[in-house]
Amino acid sequence: MTVRHKVNDEKIIISSAGHSRIGRREFFKNAGKSIAGAALAKMLPEWLNAEEMPKKNVLFIIVDDLRPELNCYGSKHIVSPNIDNLAATGMLFNRAYCQVAICSASRSSVLTGVYPDKTKVYWNDKHFRDALPDVTTLPQHFRNNGYHSISISKVYHDGFEDPKSWSEPLMELKGIRNEGKFPAGFPFSGQPTRDADVPDNIHCDGVTADRSIEVLRRIKNKPFFFAVGIIRPHLSYLCPKKYWDLYDPNEIKLSEHPFLPKGLPGAAMPYMNESLKKRTSSDDLRREFKHGYYACTSFADAQIGRILDELENLKLADNTIIVLWGDNGFHLGEQGLWMKATNFEATTRVPLIVRVPGMKNKGVKCNRFVDSVDIYPTVCELAGLTLPEHLEGKSFVPLLEDAGIVWQQCSFSQINGKKGMGYSMRTENYRYTEWVGTDEKTVGAELYDYRNAGEDINLAIDKNFKSIVEEHAKMLRDNWRPKWPY
Ligand SMILES: [Ca+2]
């Protein structure tokens, strides 16, 4: 290993970037706070022209557990023509990271616009209003600004709804969400299987698409913020046969890194899901599992396509901002895991595509770091709304104007683990994670070099990387928002 050489290279990169590096803290100093009226208009790209245009609608699509393993992200084995088309007519973010790879924690952060240390939602066990009773959520902010704010299916996590966010009650689909437990009177009863040659709307997301089309027709004449939750490819992998048939199980490749990193500290040991372990205990089962995930990805894509088509049919596309976002990734065998809730790339990196009427950089792929928490201020700016004071994210509208400008050099994620909080930072070449115990002491650290062994080897325990670890530890402390507990 040419470790020493790599160390020297990286030192140069980090120190030379020192003066121009834009950390999150500087963002807040410069532009993160409330910017209103003329000041906001001045910052916006010309094509956005928010003040002169009629109010733009927002279609906000949240896809559950969707990895950036899509055709438009370079995964040519995946059939995702509708999301690909959205990417081709919008901007795809290659380095978008969720703040916690857990449904409710991730969604709570995005929809409130603050990091998890403020929402206090780290798992699927708390409501953000426990810690932030009066926070204005993203949909609520649109509602307060005269928009019709409406949602369908899983936008907030099940059981953690937020009526203040919406202009009308949530359209629930919980009864048909999981395992084919259909409500009485539903046209298909019993347990659907992968071999069931059934119509799309036998399954939850098919019904979501049907109802979303109805909603669009109903609300088309008023400015709207419409949040659509797509459940697949979250488990269980139920979708019509035709989507399974898109993939040949014999051609499904298994991860080449099916083991935990060498030198993983005890504090970083993930919570294992025993039933998922059992379901993936042989290569055949692992292929079957991936097959299901891929089939459901294509199924989700098809439902998204139906909604986007209706937007076109109703001639709303030219006046609607579209955001498509995955709340977290999922290990499909990477690190030997079949789960989410880790700080690895497989779960923290998420798909993010933004399309804005009139944007000039259609089809551009942006390689700058974006945090999911940045979505709230971005959507507000795009719609010409002022930014609430409490937001901790930073609008990435400047990237929509020029995807290559100097931007933040890191993204942040965290997981509340067995022995403490794992604060994780992705930089250009590295991921650095520090585990902080309840006594506020560091109980473990990880460093991965993606130009080298990636997540196969934890380099934090390699003395050759001491200076890189120190640089990253400092960067983590200097830039983390909000402040660490020490
Ligand atoms: Ca999820």
How does pLDDT run across 205-240, given as a tens digit for each residue?
999 999 999 999 999 999 999 999 999 999 989 899
Calculate how far, in angstroms, residue 341's C-alpha sits from the geometric centre of ligand 1: 10
Contact 372, 110 (CB under 8 A): yes
Q: Which amino acid is at 14?
A: I
Q: CA 299 to CA 245: how far, in whole Å?
A: 11
Give me the pLDDT at residue 486, please. 37
Residue 186 has pLDDT above 70, yes or no: no
Is 103 marked active-site?
Answer: yes
| 64 Cα–ligand 1 center, Å | 4
pLDDT at position 327 over 90? yes
Residue 119 confidence (pLDDT) above 60: yes
**Cα–Cα distances in Å, from 234 out to 36, 178, 238, 439?**
39, 10, 9, 35
What's the 65 CA to ligand 1 centre distance in angstroms?
4
Q: What is the rounded distance in angstroms from the CA atom of residue 459 to the CA atom of residue 286? A: 29
Fold of 31-408: Alkaline Phosphatase, subunit A (3.40.720)
List phi, psi (to 5°) of 436: -110, 120
Percent of the chain having pLDDT more than 70?
84
User: pLDDT higher for 451 or 486?
Assistant: 451
Mind listing the pLDDT tens digit for each residue in 56-99? 999 999 999 999 999 999 999 999 999 999 999 999 999 999 99
- Please state the φ and ψ torsions of residue 199, each to the nearest 5 degrees: -70, 160
Measured between alpha carbons, how far is residue 140 from residues 272, 302, 397 in Å? 36, 29, 21
For residues 441-470, give the mean pLDDT. Answer: 96
Q: Which tens digit of pLDDT belongs to each residue from 330-388?
A: 999 999 999 999 999 999 999 999 999 999 999 999 999 999 999 999 999 999 999 99
Q: Cβ–Cβ contacts within 10 Å for residue 142, how many? A: 28
Answer yes or no: are the C-beta atoms of 384 and 378 closer than 8 Å: no
Residue 21 has pLDDT above 90, yes or no: no
Distance in Å, CA 20 to ligand 1 centroid: 35
Distance 30 CA to ligand 1 centre (A): 33
Question: What is the C-alpha separation between 408 and 423, in angstroms, rounded?
Answer: 17
Closest C-alpha among 460, 412, 417 to residue 437: 417
CA–CA gap between residue 23 and residue 32 (Å, rounded): 12
Choose the catalytic residue: 148, 157, 291, 472: 157
The alpha carbon of 234 is separated from its chain's Cα centroid by a whole number of angstroms, namely 13
Q: Please give the distance, rounded to the nearest whole angstrom, from the Cα atom of residue 63 to the centre of ligand 1.
A: 8
Of 98, 103, 204, 296, which one is the catalytic site residue?
Answer: 103
Residue with tokens 């990237």: 399
What local confidence, expressed as pLDDT, does residue 43 receive?
59
| pLDDT (tens digit per residue) in 404-438 | 999 989 999 999 998 999 999 999 999 999 999 98
* 96 CA from centroid of ligand 1 (Å): 15
Active-site residue, 157 included = yes
